[in-house]
Amino acid sequence: MIQIILFIVNIALLQSCFAETPETYLLKTNSLPSDLNFMPTLGNGHLGYTVFGDAIFMNGVYNGAGGNSKRARIPNWLNISAEVCDRFGCATGNDVDVNGTSYETDLRDGYFRVLTTYRTLGISVEQRTYPHKFYNRALVYEVVAKRLANRLSKVNSPKFLKLTHFPGNSSDAFDFVVVNNGSSSSGDYRTLRGRTKVLELEKFQPDPQEIFVLFSEPLDHTLQLQWPTWQDEFTYRVIITIDREETVARKELQDVLQLSSRKLFQKHTESWNSFWDNEFSIEIRGDAFELSQIVNAGIFYLVSSLPSIETHQKNEPFYGLSPTGLGRGNLEADYQGHNFWDTEIWMLPVVSLFGYEYAKQVLDYRSRKLEAAKYHANTTGYKGARFPWESAYTGTEVTNPCCPEVSQQEIHISPDISFALQKFFAQSHDNAWACDTAWPITREVAEFLVSRASCDDSKNECHFLDVMGPDEDHPDVNDNVYTNAVSKIALNFAEWLGKTCGNTSTELLEKWREVSDRLVILRDENLDYHPQHQGYIPNTIVKQADTILLGYPLNFDTSTTHSNDLRLYANATRESGPAMTWSMFAANYMRSLQIQEANEYFERGYKSYVRPEFKVWSETPLGFEGSANFLTGIGGFLQALIFGYGALDFGRTNDDQFLMFFGITMTPPNVDEVHISSIPYGDAKCSLTFRNRSSSIECSDRIGQGFQMVQGQKKTVLGRSFNLTRRSEDPPIQISLLR
């Protein structure tokens, strides 16, 4: 009797330890996507892989010269599959129940698992895999086999497990050598040393990159593990650790193996839970189960490619966010793991809401590559710093040799980075960071822009000739409006920082001001709209959102001209355009309170791009070829929700104030209320709850001087915490920090 009670108490304890994951965080299916590229991509900022894929990738490790540089593929030694066997053979599909296999991604706890029930054999097998969020050099595979209570007999119950690994082909990126065989006699771990084969650019990369891969199990042959029939539960795990330093990888493996499977897993889930509980989450109330799952999955896949902030051993510098994340990068469709404007314009505004540390690490990558950007400017005949269209290990231009014109002409990448720096400063108000990190970049970008501009003194005008805007269907154009607008913002921010961070010659500041003032912004007087570039004929089809970005995110023009842009370009954008194009139409229509159009574009911006099983994004709608795990699309979609429907923004006013803005909110179709928690602003944390035409924002600041509300002409001191409600009839609210 006492034993039974103890047993029940034990079960209760076990359950309280692992709280049930809410359905909106649990992606479950009985059938895999037909294209395994749409399996979940997992990562922890140091390592990443796609479940069942053939590759593991490590932050910052690339192989190949120039435009052939791509993430260096490590065979996926973690792709292990377990079979249950007895001496007559192994269980087959016939032994599995109908729908007896469930594939699950648990977004809240951060892992993937396959659960198989063999009813005829009376057992269940759970296989789970995850990149550890705290022990981030470690990748974990675990199998837990259980004999079910209602099994018929022990006689035909399986007696061993067979583990086979399917790592894919050998790597063409690394020369791997075995430096330790890890024979059980030596009591050591099997260790491989890999060196990349080809340098990206010798001037900035004198040596190949080197990594060490350590295995808790040799894995060079199939493992047969005895499972005595008297044993009800059987657990086994394989750990792989990878680092540039053998000592780091070794320490990680030793420390991880000190922990029981349960403790190790618990540390991982705690780290993920802490992200959702303390760093960021969005709750959607209403009849919107699938939308909730898509939002949660979107955040999950973005975070998976970002560094863990708290880790067992110190992180290496971060090499930025690529359009398809850290766990992909070997295919052309994976953008080879490079950084583009996608990083700053599409993903960063959302990443900055997760916490400043994430945003700083993303932007630090650009800081560390400033010398390479200066080199790129110089070798292409300009001054200052010119960030390459595509950037990988060295920070020099690595655009695919297929498409030289994008690297020559999409100069907007450099001012895009300055714009992102300004937006992040408007949110964080971090003065030290602004002068240490933002200023050196912004200054050099301003110098590049001045040297790149063609100025006509007689007409008092400056132009950017032979450029390509975000619309890549139109090369060799002059005065792409988006490029010129974002360049003006970049020059003006450089001027402001130059004054604030001190000691800049007035001559330099005046030069930046002059070019900014003289840069032409094309406008058609008759139709009152912005032609995308010189000679643009209305209704000419464009690839993607370009001129409409002058509204959101640039906040450069929100007049009737912008409304007309929306109407005209909506009719002239390619059907096959990338996902975030529609999200930007949604955000901009929402801000101009054209709700029906906003709703249409919002739904168009995700419904056909998200693959159903694990809510993985594709770059293109169903039926078109495109990239998997398309984080850029997620970035655009979440921006539409937060900054479009939620009408939040951070930015600079014409009189040089850096503020948080609240516009008129709406909710997407079928949604009653959206709650966004843990939005950082200054030293404060805020939460935003928005409904149809009413919202409340609640902030509290334990460190700073508190806030001031600016509403029209009225200024109100709010103290160090406040809870404000805004209805659509109220004048716009802006919040500034008291200093």
Residues that bind ligand NAG (CB under 6 A): 30, 52, 54, 79, 81, 98-99, 166, 168-169, 178-181, 378, 381, 383, 503, 539, 568, 571, 692-693, 696, 698, 723, 725
Q: Give dist(CA 465, CA 364) in Å, integer.
A: 30
Taking alpha carbons only, the member of 367, 419, 413 closest to residue 650 is 419
Nearest to 355 by CA among 442, 462, 428: 428
Name every residue whose Cβ is closer than 8 Å to that of residue 487 and which is 6 or more positions away in sequence: 412, 415, 449, 453, 464, 516, 519
* Of residues 84 and 321, the one with the C-beta less far from ligand NAG: 84
Query: Smaller CB distance to ligand NAG: residue 228 or 502?
Result: 502
Least Å distance between CB 541 and ligand NAG?
A: 7
Give the Cα separation of 476 and 466 in Å (integer).
4
Angle 698-361-281 from CA coordinates, rounded to 5°: 35
- Tell me whether residue 180 or residue 592 sits nearer to ligand NAG (CB atom): 180
Q: In terms of CB distance, is 255 or 698 closer to ligand NAG?
A: 698
CB of 12 to ligand NAG, least distance (A): 30
Closest approach of Cβ 531 to ligand NAG, in Å?
A: 14
What's the closest the beta carbon of residue 168 comes to ligand NAG, in angstroms? Answer: 4
Long-range Cβ contact pairs of 201-208 (< 8 A, separation 24 or more): 201/65, 201/66, 201/394, 201/396, 203/375, 203/396, 204/372, 204/375, 204/394, 204/395, 204/396, 205/393, 205/394
Integer Cα distance of 492 and 486 in angstroms: 10
Q: The tokens of 450 are what?
A: 């001045």
CA distance 110 to 297: 10
Minimal distance in Å, beta carbon 570 to ligand NAG? 8
Q: Which is nearer to ligand NAG, 18 or 166 (CB)?
A: 166
- Secondary structure (H, E, C), 514-572: HHHHHECCCCECCCCECCCCCCCCCCCCECCCCHHHHCCCCCCCCCHHHHHHHHHHHCC
For 21, residues 6+ apart whose C-beta sits below 8 A from its C-beta are 106, 107, 108, 109
Q: Using the minimum distance from each CB to ligand NAG, give the nearer residue, 42 or 302.
A: 42
Nearer to ligand NAG, 231 or 728 (CB): 728
Please name every residue paired with 675 in a beta bridge, in sequence order, or none if there are none: 283, 689
- Rounded least distance, CB 697 to ligand NAG, Å: 8
The minimum distance between CB 458 and ligand NAG, in angstroms, equals: 25
Nearer Cβ to ligand NAG (417/688): 688
Nearer to ligand NAG, 185 or 503 (CB): 503
Nearer to ligand NAG, 52 or 617 (CB): 52
Secondary element (H or E) of residue 215: strand 210-215
Question: Closest approach of Cβ 638 to ligand NAG, in Å?
Answer: 21
**Minimum distance between the CB of residue 11 and ligand NAG, rounded to whole angstroms?**
27
For residue 350, the SS3 value is: helix
Minimum CB–partner distance for residue 569 and ligand NAG (Å): 10
Instruction: List CB contacts of 530: < 8 A, sequence separation 6 or more.
Output: 481, 521, 522, 523, 524, 547, 550, 557, 561, 562, 565
